[in-house]
């Protein structure tokens, strides 16, 4: 049973190393990731290269897939370019197989892995800046990854000596299914590839079975994208479907050409002097590259098809359009997405004043819908706050919380004004009060539509409306009760204006407008 313990321990070290690498490099890259995805994807070639390079950098196609989903939601990345980032990530993830094959089985790993872990840990503890500490975490992850390969190789080596699994006669569909299951359970195609490579090196499986397992692992990596679309936006679901279709097409072609393909790869790799693990890494790269070649003429058709699907949620009025769990995993992109979502919500408020001071059921419906949006906004901020954040990122989310509070105060004011109108309309003198207030609310509506600080231009008008209401009461045209309701309405309207302006200024701070300083709510 010792080889089982060694195999499990090696797999655990490998997965821990992959997680440290991905999380560390994601934080260390910071805004660089956003700049690369937003500015280097102006063509299909650039999208493909960006996806490949980013996957090589962070050592996780799943992380790049989730990043692409998030950037599509923010509008920083066009959908037709994002699909090529996804395709490139599949090619980039083949580097892990090369690292495992060329380093993991060729060198005495602990000679360089242990120093890397030590240097990374020291950086993580003593570095003065967040990004350097994250880089140290990634370095330690690389060391753990290779230590995991060493332990995993030891376990499979003992297994190969004691067992004769051969698996040469097993159905290809079964081997592909095992590959899919491995990747789905571990949520890492790189970890599944490491298991397959070490099993091949240890003599547990033959090359044909290993090739089928690798094809299955390539399909299984789409499970991360599918899980990421639960509760996600329309664009995220489209991109996940594109990812699944690409991987399925690649797998079907690779299976159809498996016999001659394996023979060709082995012949080429043998000429290069590659051992079986290196030959399998070459096979992995070759069939992913073939998938990209096949998708080159097909992608425009696929994109047009997907852009006509999944429209239901986009039409929903009480659903977030730019924020979901994928964006929450990307703090730098999340700030941009948060600003876009808040802009969309804030743009609803000028028209929300329509019809005041009279009550209306549609106003209550609008309040309920916006409260649902604000609840989703709060959930998103809570999710984003659980990430590893730099001080700059923390400040951005603090601004988001302030805006959420401002918007909640505005909803309370609107609900209060609607209720006052409901009570006022029951009074016999309500027409007198409403005639005075209606002009005031129309001024508010027009001022909000024009933008800028509404509190100063309307300050004099506010006092005029208050004096007019009091004069009507002194003339006997308004009862004390109706006057009290009208003045409360007026007071809530001023609070609404103040909170709207505070939210606007906070939004400018969120967008990094240097001329604006966000006041406290």
**What pLDDT does 229 receive?**
64
pLDDT recorded at residue 313: 46
pLDDT at 485: 92
Residue 31: the pLDDT is: 59
Paired tokens of 250 = 């690649």
The region of weakest confidence among 151-160, 272-281, 378-387, 440-449 is 151-160
Q: How confident is residue 166, by pLDDT bands cut at 50, 70 and 90?
A: very low
> Are the beta carbons of 216 and 176 closer than 8 angstroms?
yes
Predicted pLDDT at 315: 44
Q: How far apart are CA 170 and CA 150, in angstroms?
A: 28
> Which pLDDT score, from 0 to 100, does residue 332 have?
72
Q: What is the largest CA-CA distance in the chain?
A: 105
How many residues are listed for the chain in this entry? Answer: 521
The pLDDT assigned to 117 comes to 86
pLDDT given for residue 54 in this prediction:
78
Instruction: Provide the whole-model pTM.
Output: 0.68
Instruction: With cut-offs at 50, 70 and 90, classify the pLDDT of residue 161.
Output: very low
Q: What is the pLDDT of residue 519?
A: 41
At residue 173, the pLDDT reads 77
Is residue 287 pLDDT above 60, yes or no?
A: yes
The tens digit of pLDDT for each residue in 388-430 reads: 777 788 888 999 999 999 999 999 999 999 999 999 999 999 9
Each residue of 500-516: pLDDT tens digit? 999 999 999 988 743 34
Output the pLDDT for position 406: 95
Tell me the C-alpha to C-alpha distance, in Å, between residue 396 and each of 328, 338, 383.
Answer: 13, 9, 14
Measured distance CA(144)–CA(16) in Å, rounded: 7
Q: Cα–Cα distance between 209 and 217 in angstroms, integer?
A: 12
CA distance to 96, 223, 384, per residue, from 182 (Å) = 16, 11, 29
DSSP string, 38-73: HHS-SSHHHHHHHHHHHHHHHT-HHHHHHHHHHHHH
- What is the structure's pLDDT at 365? 87
Residues 497 and 485: their CA atoms lie apart, in Å, by 19
Burial of 371 (0-12, 13-18, 19+ CB in 10 A): middle
Identify the pLDDT of residue 230: 64
What is the phi/psi pair of residue 458, to 5°? -100, 0
Which pLDDT score is estimated for 41?
Answer: 67
Q: Which residue has the higher pLDDT, 190 or 355?
A: 355
pLDDT of the residue at 409: 95
pLDDT above 50 (res 261): yes
Categorize the per-residue pLDDT at 521 as very low, low, confident or very high, splitting at 50, 70 and 90. very low
CA–CA distance from 509 to each of 335, 392, 495, 516, 517 (Å)? Answer: 11, 12, 21, 6, 6
- Could you report the per-residue pLDDT of 74-128, keeping only the tens digit for each? 666 788 888 888 888 888 888 877 877 777 655 566 666 788 888 888 888 888 7
431-452 residue pLDDT tens: 999 999 998 998 888 888 887 8
The proportion of the chain whose per-residue pLDDT surpasses 70, expressed as a percent, equals 81
C-beta of residue 326 within 8 angstroms of C-beta of residue 232: yes
What are the pLDDT digits (tens) for 38-88? 666 677 888 888 888 877 776 667 667 777 776 776 666 788 888 888 888
| DSSP character at residue 521 | -
Give the span between the Cα atoms of 223 and 97, in whole angstroms.
20
The four Cα atoms 426, 466, 449, 342 give a dihedral, to 10 degrees, of: -80
What is the rounded average pLDDT of the residues 247-261? 87
- 38: its two tokens: 């937003």
The stretch 455-473 carries a mean pLDDT of 89
The answer to whether the beta carbons of residues 202 and 160 sit under 8 Å apart is: yes
What 3-state DSSP class applies to 289?
helix
Q: Residue 290 CA to chain centroid, in angstroms?
A: 28
User: Tokens 């890492």 identify what position?
Assistant: 188
Q: What confidence score (pLDDT) does residue 503 get?
A: 94
| Four-point Cα dihedral 176, 181, 184, 188, nearest 10 | -70
Mean pLDDT of the chain, nearest integer: 80
Q: In this predicted model, what pLDDT tens digit does every residue of 328-345 receive, in sequence order?
A: 777 777 888 889 899 989
Dist. CA 38–CA 24, nearest whole Å: 21
440 and 493 in contact (C-beta within 8 Å)?
yes
């Amino acid at each position: 049973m010792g080889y089982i313990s060694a195999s499990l321990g090696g797999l655990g070290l490998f997965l821990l190393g992959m997680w440290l690498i991905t999380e560390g490099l994601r934080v260390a890259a910071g805004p660089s990731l956003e700049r690369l995805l937003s500015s280097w994807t102006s063509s299909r070639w650039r999208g493909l290269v960006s996806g490949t390079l980013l996957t090589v950098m962070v050592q996780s196609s799943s992380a790049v897939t989730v990043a692409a989903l998030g950037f599509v939601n923010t509008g920083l990345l066009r959908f037709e370019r994002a699909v090529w980032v996804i395709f490139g990530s599949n090619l980039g993830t083949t580097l892990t197989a090369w690292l495992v094959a060329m380093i993991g089985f060729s060198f005495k790993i602990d000679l360089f892995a242990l120093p890397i872990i030590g240097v990374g840990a020291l950086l993580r503890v003593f570095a003065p800046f967040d990004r350097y500490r994250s880089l140290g975490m990634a370095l330690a992850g690389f060391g753990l990854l290779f230590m995991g390969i060493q332990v995993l190789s030891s376990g499979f080596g003992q297994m190969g000596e004691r067992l004769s699994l051969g698996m040469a006669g097993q159905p290809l569909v079964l081997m592909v299914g095992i590959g899919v299951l491995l990747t789905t359970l571990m949520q890492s195609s790189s970890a599944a590839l490491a298991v397959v490579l070490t099993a091949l090196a240890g003599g547990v499986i033959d090359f044909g079975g290993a090739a089928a397992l690798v094809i299955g692992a390539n399909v299984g990596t789409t499970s991360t994208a599918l899980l990421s679309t639960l509760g996600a936006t329309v664009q995220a679901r489209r991109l996940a479907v594109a990812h699944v279709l690409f991987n399925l097409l690649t797998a079907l072609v690779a299976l159809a050409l498996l016999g001659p393909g394996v023979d060709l790869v082995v012949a080429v790799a043998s000429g290069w002097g590659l051992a079986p693990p290196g030959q399998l890494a070459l096979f992995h790269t070759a069939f992913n590259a073939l998938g990209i070649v096949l998708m080159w003429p097909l992608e425009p058709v696929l994109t047009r098809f997907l852009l006509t699907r999944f429209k239901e949620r986009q039409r929903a009025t009480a659903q977030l359009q730019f924020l979901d769990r994928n964006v929450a995993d990307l703090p730098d992109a999340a700030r941009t997405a948060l600003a876009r979502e808040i802009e969309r919500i804030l743009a609803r408020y000028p028209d929300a004043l329509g019809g005041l001071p009279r009550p209306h059921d549609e106003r209550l419906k609008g309040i309920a819908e916006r409260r649902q949006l604000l609840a989703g906004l709060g959930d998103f901020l809570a999710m984003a706050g659980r990430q590893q954040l730099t001080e700059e990122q923390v400040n951005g989310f603090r601004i988001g919380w302030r805006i959420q509070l401002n918007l909640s105060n505005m909803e309370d004011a609107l609900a209060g004004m609607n209720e006052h109108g409901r009570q006022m309309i029951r009074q016999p003198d309500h027409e007198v009060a409403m005639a005075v207030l209606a002009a005031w609310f129309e001024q508010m509506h027009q001022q909000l539509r024009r933008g800028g600080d509404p509190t100063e231009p309307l300050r004099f008008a506010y006092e005029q409306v208050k004096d007019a209401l009091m004069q009507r009461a002194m003339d006997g045209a308004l009862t004390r009760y109706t006057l009290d309701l009208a003045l409360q309405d007026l007071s809530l309207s001023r609070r609404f204006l103040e909170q709207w302006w505070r939210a606007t200024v906070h939004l400018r701070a969120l967008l990094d407008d240097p001329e604006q300083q966000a006041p406290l709510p």
